[in-house]
Amino acid sequence: MRFLLLLVIFVQLSHAGAQSPWTRSKAGFYTQLGWHFIPTYETLYAPDGESRSLERTLSEHTIQLYGEYGLSNRTTATICVPFRLLNAGDLTADAATGVQTEAGRLNGLGNVSVAARHRFTNGAIACSGTFQVDFPVAKYNLNSGLSLGYDALALKPMCSIGKGYAQAYWFGYTGYAYRSNGFSHTFNLGAEGGLHLGRFWIIAFSEWLQPLFNGDVLLTENNHRTGLYVNNQGYVSVGFKSIFDINRFTGAFFSFGGAAAGQLVPRSPGLGVGAFFKWE
C-alpha cells in the first residue's frame, strides 16, 4: 500500500500528472509547488526540424501549483495553475539586420488546467481515462513577441495504462487535444518508468507530441519570431526525474528534460525543482 501511495505522487511530476493511470483514495489529496525553467536560449527547432536562430535571447520561468483531490477511490480531480515569467534579452550573435523584436519582460498566469481522471480497473494493471480542459490566455507583448500561453480553449481526452511492482513501475498513455481559435489539434503518445533506490526514485520519461496541421490562426510576426505558443508546435522529448521521499507526507523532486527533436520549440533543455505534500 505504501508503494501505491508513493507511486501516485511520482507520476504527477510530468506535465501536471494528466498521464497517470492511478487515482487518489476518496478524500485523499496531493499538492505540489514547483519551479520549472529554461535558462537563456538562442535557437529553436524550425518547422522542418533544423536549427533556427532567434533575434534575442529568451528565458522562461514557471512557478506552478498543482493539486489533486480524490472524489472517490476511482475518480480524482486535478488543477494546475502556472505563473510564467518571460524575458527577451540581448540580441543574439546571429541576429539579422533590421531586428523587429524589442527587449522586454512579461509575467502572469499561463494556461490554467482542470481535469478529472477515472480508473476503470481494480486489478494489478491500472487503466484510466482523463478529460482535461486548458483555459485560454491572451496576454502578450506585441513589441517583444512574448506570450504567456495559447489563446485557445483546449479539450484533451486521454487514456493511460500502467503497472506497479515492489520497487518499480511503468505506464504509457495516448491522447488528443482539440484547440479553439484556429489552432491545430494535436496527438500525443508517451511512456514513463521508475526504479526505487533507497529513499530515492529514478525516473525516465519520453513523449511525442504531433500537430495535425489543421489550424489557420493568424498570429503577429513578432510572436512567430519568438516561437512562444505559436501554431503547429511539436516535439519528441526525453527526460529524467529524481524524487526524494522525506517522510510519508512530504518530499522533493528534481527534473531535467527537453526536446530531442521538434518543430518551433526550444533546442535547450528545461530544469525543474519543487516540493510536495500528500494526505491519504
**pLDDT over threshold 50, residue 145:** yes
Instruction: Select the more confidently predicted residue: 87 or 9.
Output: 87
Q: Which domain holds residue 198?
A: 2-279
pLDDT tens string 44-53: 999 999 999 9
What per-residue confidence (pLDDT) applies to 17?
56
pTM of the full structure: 0.90
Of the candidates 101, 27, 30, the residue with the CA atom closest to the CA atom of residue 71: 27
The three cell numbers of residue 260 are 530531442
What per-residue confidence (pLDDT) applies to 11?
40
The single-letter code of the amino acid at 40 is T
What per-residue confidence (pLDDT) applies to 98?
72
Pairing of strands 186-197, 200-211: antiparallel
pLDDT tens string 155-213: 999 999 999 998 999 999 999 999 999 999 999 999 999 999 999 999 999 999 999 99
Asked if 252 contacts 277 with a C-beta cutoff of 8 angstroms, the reply is no
CATH, residue 244: 2.40.160.40
Domains contained in the chain, number:
1
